[in-house]
Amino acid sequence: MTSDAGPEKGFDLGRLLVERAGERYALHARHLNHQLPRMLHTIGFDKVYERAEGAYFWDEDGHDYLDMLAGFGVFGLGRHHPVVRKALHDVIDAGLADLTRFDCPPLPGLLGERLLAHSPHLERVFFCNSGTEAVESALKFARYATGRRRILYCDHAFHGLTAGSLSVNGEDGFRKGFDPLLPDSAVPLGDLDALERELRKGDVAAFILEPIQGKGVHAAPPGYLRAAQELLRRHKALLIADEVQTGLGRTGDFYAYQHEDGVEPDIVAVAKALSGGYVPVGATLAKGWIFEKVYSSMDRVLVHSASFGSNAQAMAAGLATLAVMEDERTVANARVTGDLLRTRLAALVDRYELLHDVRGRGLMIGIEFGRPKSLKLRGGWTMLQAARKGLFAQMVVVPLFQRHRILTQVSGDHLEVIKLIPPLIIGEREVDRFVEAFTDVMDDAHRGSGLMWDFGRTLIKQAVGSK
């Protein structure tokens, strides 16, 4: 704020937030990615939120919103968990000599020990600051350790958006215009023959996959991970599990690959929920021999490092998060509550012809819509599909938010799938609220006319206009 006497001196965060409260959307439009406020205005998501706790946040009028998105999965414990919050206050108040870079502070070792306890076949951890960085590290480690160059990945895969991670992204929409990327190759998820064909070429360092793909919520078919692991071992290539979204209990196991017995990836990437959502964090866990190759001599001590990696705030938040997960049995809750939510939603498939499938594991759930049988609905559906695939799912996300104050997302471009990744602490109350709201929106959609379809026509106009 400036006055006649010039800018006010000193820094007061509370005052700044109050003084500039009305400018958040304008500031974003002016200085950051201007398409975000534009998109939010278009779909009526342009709220002003005041505070958040657990699985809810509240707008300036005091209305509560149920969060079924968890900040793209970072708030596994919900927002502002008191134990994580206290750990952060404590670590800042402790005034530690952090990041000297020439000592071995206690917190990274403690978090490494605790994290590795969940995957006993892995022996070492590299800490970084995000999911994409954890994936970049995994790709570099695999290449160096095997002396090979090529990485295999799945169609529709998402592993982050920096250049290396983008090279193993299975969607053209993300890649286009950013090439040339690394020389990597895609195989369909679940296709062992395609995997073996590529492996036989003898130049593959690793195969990276999400045990359940974020895009569309597609799980690897039963037995696929173990069979893929056997093929990889036979061809001396590594298995990288990207658990950035699925890890830390999301799917009802600590890691999603643990759903299948005998799967022991050589490298595992995690991030998101590891710090309870407060502090950016990422971690790449690997077998000991991989670290021994990468860091093979004292000269190579900094061959792969990150200035902020293993900072005290991230490590303290990570330790507190893992402690809370154990104390509050978060993983078991994700399994039980996820089963309940999925079962109740799956029971609606027979009732609603536009609802085709409910799938996923734990609290990672995909709701897929598809072509209706009745003539009454088919016209509207066909018009939406002709304009742009994914518009019907958007038509559902919007009333869930505007009418029922529930935040969800369409699970990727051109997909008729909504993805639910709520905080892992939700219970029956949230399941009831979601199922009731979803039923109301589905009832509305199956009338074939009314506000929801009017909105569909607006979406069609926009989609056609932007072609």
Residue 342 in contact with ligand PLP, rule: CB under 6 A:
no
Applying CB under 6 A, among 126, 144, 153, 158 the residue interacting with ligand PLP is 158
Applying CB under 6 A, among 76, 112, 131, 277 the residue interacting with ligand PLP is 131
* Angle, CA of 181, 139 and 71, to the nearest 5°: 90
| CA proximity to 184, closest of 207, 210, 160 | 207
Taking the complex as a whole, the smallest distance from the CB of residue 181 to ligand PLP amounts, in Å, to 16
Q: Would you state the structure tokens that stand for residue 439, as one six-digit string?
A: 């039923």
Three-state DSSP state, 173: helix
Exposure letters 25-61 (e unless 16+ CB within 10 A, then b)? eeeebeeeeeeebeeeeebeeebeeeebebbbbbeee
Range in contact with ligand PLP (rule: CB under 6 A) among 86-94, 118-126, 130-138, 312-320: 130-138
User: How many beta carbons lie within 10 A of that of residue 200, not counting itself?
Assistant: 10
User: φ, ψ for residue 64 (rounded to 5)?
Assistant: -90, 150
Residue 25 in contact with ligand PLP, rule: CB under 6 A:
no
Taking the complex as a whole, the smallest distance from the CB of residue 160 to ligand PLP amounts, in Å, to 3
- DSSP bridge pairs for 126: 284
Q: Which of 283, 393 has the CB closer to ligand PLP?
A: 283
DSSP 419: E
Residue 139 in contact with ligand PLP, rule: CB under 6 A:
no
Residue 146 in contact with ligand PLP, rule: CB under 6 A:
no
The one-letter amino acid code at 165 reads S
Residue 309 in contact with ligand PLP, rule: CB under 6 A:
no
Taking the complex as a whole, the smallest distance from the CB of residue 134 to ligand PLP amounts, in Å, to 7
Three-state DSSP state, 216: coil
* Contacting residues for 290 by C-beta, under 8 A, at least 6 apart: 124, 141, 142, 145, 238, 266, 267
181-240 binders of ligand PLP (CB under 6 A) = 210, 214
242-281 binders of ligand PLP (CB under 6 A) = 242, 244-245, 271
Q: Which of 77, 244 has the CB closer to ligand PLP?
A: 244
Q: Residue 346 and residue 358: Cα distance in Å, rounded? A: 5
Range in contact with ligand PLP (rule: CB under 6 A) among 50-58, 131-139, 189-197, 434-442: 131-139
Residue 415 in contact with ligand PLP, rule: CB under 6 A:
no
Residue 367 in contact with ligand PLP, rule: CB under 6 A:
no
Range in contact with ligand PLP (rule: CB under 6 A) among 21-29, 90-98, 127-135, 284-292: 127-135
Residue 363 in contact with ligand PLP, rule: CB under 6 A:
no
Taking the complex as a whole, the smallest distance from the CB of residue 354 to ligand PLP amounts, in Å, to 27
Applying CB under 6 A, among 47, 87, 132, 406 the residue interacting with ligand PLP is 132
74-93 binders of ligand PLP (CB under 6 A) = none
Structure-token match 């490298």, residue found: 267
- The residue at minimum Cβ distance from ligand PLP is 131
Residue 167 in contact with ligand PLP, rule: CB under 6 A:
no
Q: What is the 3-state secondary structure (H, E, C) of 286-345?
A: ECHHHHHHHCCCHHHCCCCCCCCCCCHHHHHHHHHHHHHHHHCCHHHHHHHHHHHHHHHH
Residue 241 in contact with ligand PLP, rule: CB under 6 A:
no
Footprint on this chain of ligand PLP (rule: CB under 6 A): 72, 130-132, 135, 158-160, 210, 214, 242, 244-245, 271
